[in-house]
Chains A and B, each alone.
Chain A
């Protein structure tokens, strides 16, 4: 069953604007990860945030985690046309030794 649910399902912005995508999940987690997928093929790992962390940065990416609300957000600042892709959140359950459970993704379109 799906663990993560991304919101919105689709997002269209102008180049240079910031993009914010949200993810909610249902069970207690060990960590939460964000992935990017171009053209419906392989996914690329962007960032991992552990359950005891609240915020993490990587380049133009900022991820927050609120375990009390079981939610996470991914912020992409100063977006570029090349950021156009689908973005997925995925969670590892608390036991840790379980496979990632993915949401359905947010389709981001950045218009030049």
Chain B
């Protein structure tokens, strides 16, 4: 597609429920990244996919977080047993070696 697409744009969930966030990167971009941004803060790296290499999961904050990517296309970020501290904007980006192109993010609110 023309840009990075994320869905849903907003998600309100109850504490303890699982959520799945989706990212459609730019076609042909080999690298895909997930970041989290809490209100008024910078971006916190979560996970990075590069081609067929094993993903860099070093930023995932706990084992409740996981992500998958199908080939060089769609990625899903799953948060199990959500907690209020998981409330944030989750941003996906893709690149082909230079600057990143970001999606508009998913605003997750855990109530």
* A40:B37 contact, CB within 8 angstroms: yes
- Partner-B contacts on A (CB < 8 A): 2, 33, 35, 40-45, 48, 88, 90, 97-105
**Contact-residue bracket for chain B:** 20 to 34
The answer, among B42, B48, B104, for a CB contact under 8 Å with A42, is: B104
Of the residues B41, B48, B50, B89, contact of A104 by C-beta under 8 Å: B41
Q: Are B50 and A97 in contact (CB under 8 A)?
A: yes
Instruction: Beyond A99-B56, A100-B45, list 16 extra A-B contacts (CB 8 Å).
Output: A40-B39, A41-B89, A41-B104, A42-B91, A42-B105, A43-B100, A45-B99, A45-B100, A45-B101, A48-B98, A98-B48, A99-B45, A100-B100, A101-B45, A102-B45, A105-B42
> When the two chains form their complex, are residues B33 and A103 in contact, meaning their CB atoms are under 8 A apart?
no
B91 lies within 8 A of A104 (CB): no
Query: B: which residues have CB within 8 A of A?
Result: 4, 33, 35, 37, 39, 41-43, 45, 48, 50, 56, 59, 89, 91, 93, 98-105
Given A43-B102, A45-B101, A48-B98, residue A88 in contact with residue B42 (CB < 8 A): yes
* Cα(A98)–Cα(B45), bound, Å: 11
Complex Cα spacing A103 to B42, Å: 6
Chain B residues, CB < 8 A from A98: 48, 56
Shortest beta-carbon contacts, A-B, top 9:
A45-B99, A104-B42, A102-B43, A42-B102, A42-B104, A99-B48, A43-B102, A102-B42, A41-B104
Q: Given the complex of chains A and B, what is the CA–CA distance between A96 and B98 in angstroms?
A: 10
Closest to A48 in B: B99
Given contacts A97-B50, A99-B33, A100-B100, contact A41 B105 (CB under 8 A): yes
A59 to B43, CA, bound (A): 26
Q: Which B residues touch A33, using CB under 8 A? A: 99-100
**Measured between C-beta atoms, what is the minimum distance from B37 to chain A in Å?**
7
Shortest Cβ gap from A87 to chain B (Å):
11
B93 contacts across to A, CB distance below 8 A: 43
Chain A contacts for B101, CB-based, 8 A: 45
